[in-house]
Amino acid sequence: MIEDSETSLRRCGGQGDILGGAIALCSYWAKLKRLKNTKENNNSQYLTNDLMIGALAASQLQRRASLYAYQRVGRSMQASDVLESIPEVLRQIDLILTGWNENYIV
């Protein structure tokens, strides 16, 4: 699996921490969606697919948030700028997924 969407060329300390947290959250969301769709009772285990979907979603979130932060503040971007970008990026992703306005992209 390769995730190669556009991102910022700027790297800063703390981006890996953001990605790690995002992977945990997105994997949990993937697991919840699977359990809801399959009506499974065994909710204590993560499947490999849950983790793969979570990693891909988190990577896309991290890359978009980094790009958005870089577009806002430029070369002085820090991990805190990436964190501040996450709510806006999630709003944009939600708009894309719900079909409100597909042109509203970072």
Contact 78, 14 (CB under 8 A): yes
Residue carrying structure tokens 């999630």 = 90
Which of the four pLDDT bands, split at 50, 70 and 90, describes residue 99? low
Q: At residue 100, does pLDDT exceed 60?
A: no
Global pTM? 0.79
Nearest to 7 by CA among 53, 52, 69, 73: 69
Q: Where are the domains of the chain?
A: 15-98
What average pLDDT does this structure show over 37-59? 85
Provide the CA 99 distance to its chain's centre, in angstroms. Answer: 18
pLDDT tens-digit series, residues 66-82: 999 999 999 999 999 99
Q: Where are the beta strands (DSSP E) in the chain?
A: none
